[in-house]
Structure 1
């Protein structure tokens, strides 16, 4: 059938492949019974259904929103709009020029409307969904004449396993068509995909590569996700393009068969800051430069040890300090359903995560908690872990699971505070196909069923909606689950561990938490002490720094140690770990962590809370909040723990050689020199934002006296 290839204002050239592309779509539109002269009436989802669709695609929007804003800044005042749809073609969000948004609304191009081909015929959104490829539809190429005043450029968005997530589209007046618009949309879609991949696999090894090293860190780089055993789990589209593989073909390969290396070798290469890219080759001889990322934004840290994030198979935590850096840990990457650590003959030894034993650092309160847990382990008694945010409740739950008879079955964690109230029931109990608008085609099993045979960890249980508490109680009592939209019950066998920072007894009195559920969860209540109440601050610090810089762990200067002892640590161990993570990078190559290596906001908080940064001549006495360790009762029979080496203070900090601000500037300049002036790479190495680097150097540009 003839296709109109030009509308007033200029053509969008139809190359033969694209002409066939559009013609196929027109044929599908006619087969669907659509008429070219139909009016595009408004038929949006009702508000509740649109809200549900948005909630179910909240993660997609979270990654897409900043990219959409950046893209809008490029096309502002061009009579255009940016549209985000879900995988069914329903418009979730739109931003654009107000005048054009009003024109688009007249043809139902607005949130809640569906623009799949079956609803609107040939259009960039619907055709991109059907063809699973970037699509340009210009002017009269639209099947419905009512849409011929539009030019639309759309690109599908995929997850790392190749599943369609939705579509990003730029639509504008056809008279303002620009050939570069499609390029902007495709790059923006790839940005969203890369953000999704990094978020999906933030606790996995990711290899960023390109045949030209200067393209690493750009949208042209390929990204591969690697399991601890070397399996390839996912990739972005740039990786598939460079390797010439499909996603399915790539996932059937291993790092060894693709590049002839192992995760342990990669980790060893990038162990130190500022390591240069690796150079790896395909079996065909094609060479790539490779950089590695190990992002652990939610690393659970208790007693100063990373929660099975980077420690390999090497002895017991109670043994002496390892003689060499530990390899990457398997269980934290989800590679071992048992949560066990597989032997790694190449990487060698250092530390082994051994459940509750791993958590011991000499604090009497924590030892009491561990002994209580050991007495009820595998006795069918539910645990309720209490404690402030950041004290390590999830890591304790994982340790309990690790030491239990269920360790070879799943550990499933659910944060009751992070799931929207309208979705938490579906997340917990699962749902059947068609149970509600936006439900997956084949339904979903739910977290309770996923945890069958293993352990279900209900974090922030105090934030669970009251109506759902009754259904959870019934499921725990009957040991069965009925998914939404189903009449069949599924038997489940799970150990339940709850956790909260709230006072559940007060909530019961306020009738916001069910008393019967409280007693169902509270077989044994365990309170984790806040960091300010513990006696093992120095041991925690020492082990965090050992984990961050295993080859040359720094020590705290006397001044910083004194500050740490006096500070109240409102964020507990999570806050301490974040502070030390930055300090370990900032102090690279130096023996001591000084105040110059701490972030500005933390120093300001210190000043507010303890009144200044006066250097201390030596270790300050422990305040009352840190009493000396009490002797353990005779009944307690823990294995001997080799004493950790004392923190050394052989080098005093310079008294007035340079100001704190100048020390920061010198460190930033040194890092910039080391990475060749690459601001993005320097910000990653230093653990600070690019804006902070610009701000710090604004009045002190390199080269000034």
Structure 2
């Protein structure tokens, strides 16, 4: 801005403060700016003809200002960074001041001397008393969002700047901070900043509400909005409540509603009075409403609000026990809790497992190969009333079909040539008093399913060659990667056994779908070697990988990386190639799902479904043949791709009448 422009601006400001203001061709268009000019001239004694240099406080003073709002800065950081990411490319810098106008946070080019000279910098003092009319200083005095565009500034050295600021208030309504975006240069028209004003008001509200929720995280919070569809994600009004429903605090939108309802009286207001309802109606929102949302009418009006509840993070004797009305707090069970961190599907599974662990109801655990079905089964057993009794695991796909019957049910003396002289207890008897875990139950031969059903129904097991059954007391946990309902439809699994096993279903998500992969990676590595750490590049590669082998593959990967790293730090270079190349690969699927393979190339089938959904025998035969030919009849390679054992592949080949070529 040249000297002539500065002189004209000085004349405008000075004349505006006198009696000739109405006769001048230029006057500030915004009432807030006009009041600020008057304060600068009359109250602060500032002289627009004597520009003041930017005032940057000392490092010690800045630290004191930052310390005074430390909790707020921790909450605001995410919102500030998100806003800056949207405006940085447009030439703006972002500033966050405390309530006194000292910039306690700055996002911009720290090496640009022009910003430092203009005061758009960390530690700058933009209080109206010192810097004159500006977006930050005037926002502090007026308590309103505004744009101070170019010649709106009082100081002539600032008339090339454009600044837009919005107030952030604490839960009591007191000014806490000011959010500002500024630019050294901009269009001459004030209208060019309209979008900036809306954008900064939006982010100021988001930060303000986040701080409100932080301050009242130990209280019950009622969040509401005029839209049922948006209240869960963008509830505009927040109310913190005590155990009687008295409103302890509200955000800016909530305080505005309270002012309309009771503008004069300072007595405490209860939320039931405000919403014309009973206290129980509010407490039972989650318990009784299908979507966790309930409609309320504002007292004395036709205005409808839709509300949800945010329960306290922790409870003390003085805090509201919502569980008395809604439901009891879920018990903490460490062996189950540590199986997940923050994955919604796993939380639901673990919650159900906790409630059922002491019941003798049979459980069916569903999940792809490697998702941790046996780990979950052991955790359920280990936290149940049967924890001191045996846990016997049987992999129905790994035991040869000729041995499954004797392994499960045992045999009497003399039953087999070469068998034990005294006979042998089967795994079912070995589990007496405890838990029998039947893994890959979908691969159990059909004729043995009938015998197992009888055991479960009668509580007795008859060893091979024996004449008298043996009483048993077991709880059965079964697991499979197959779609058992499809197997039932195809006549390959007994429907009555399915319902006997399926007292309740626990579903395990794939590792790729889990939101807590980072937690699992750290947990598993700590178990392998607590002294080894993952560098950021390795963690990024692991999080980006698709994990077709699920948690089992992750364990193998971490074990390999720990073995080859020499410095106690795993980098991306220590990971197996497949984890760093990120090429799309076929998912590892159960053998019985080969009917869901599409032959884009007859010799290279493409897997599209990892669940066990069978088609006709002819289609299954063609699919399995394609896999065998692709791997040149290497049974181990086929079993590895399908995530099953070699005996399972041989059993399926026998069933589908597929014979090995003579030259193999």
Q: TM-score by structure 2 length?
A: 0.49
Tell me: higher relative CO, structure 1 or 2? Use CA pairs within 8 A at least 6 residues apart.
1
Larger CA Rg, structure 1 vs 2: 2
Larger helix share, 1 or 2: 2
TM-score by length of 1: 0.47
